[in-house]
Structure 1
């Protein structure tokens, strides 16, 4: 018995997974301007991983999933988020020191580069959420196989 889907689902997944990733990156990068941000974008990108698991099966997902890489990515996201939060510690925790006084990310309000630390924080949260959800998905999928 094959654990993956048919040709139509695989072909559609191959075309859709990169688009989901691009859309998730858009949500992360525009999080300070529109509804969305790191969590929503990270969850969207993790949805591409769920689609991959469904379309190609657990054995193919295991070949491409390395627990150590995703653990490191999740840790990196958390460390970058806390590191950026501590940069403003001379004034207050999470103080946005780059906004209107930094060398970059201090553009005209309403533009992509206008929010100081917020795009960096969104990127860190997106990375953490993406890596955590992919790891949780793989753990649940693997656990389910152990029970059968």
Structure 2
């Protein structure tokens, strides 16, 4: 099964490379597929392909790995919702119980774990509850 996931990721990478090459050759904008405006609400991730799509679609994505039973996760929920509504980044939520493999690939050994993606690459990883100011400043550094 992991080979098919890796094969799918490689296929997506190759497709993206071709699209970027075509845009470069045609003088197009490299960020044409990326959305400059982020959704106003957190995006519930439904699977690995969905996460890959969200990260590819938005310039900056804050991924919140959480669990419903986690007290610090529950305390952070209003902050996560505020960031989604106000920050220039997409905010995605991964339920670690429902998506254990994704959480493992994101390096979530504890909850909450927050991973910040910029231009499709993970640039920061934080474990534990974070305050709004810290997360907001982190997002601003990458937008």
Quickly name the TM-score band, shorter chain normalised. under 0.3
Q: Please identify the structure whose Cα radius of gyration is greater.
A: 1
Greater strand percent: which structure? 2
TM-score (norm 2): 0.27
| Structure of higher RCO (CA pairs closer than 8 Å, 6+ residues apart) | 1
Q: Which has the higher helix share?
A: 1
In the superposition, the TM-score normalised over structure 1's length comes to: 0.26
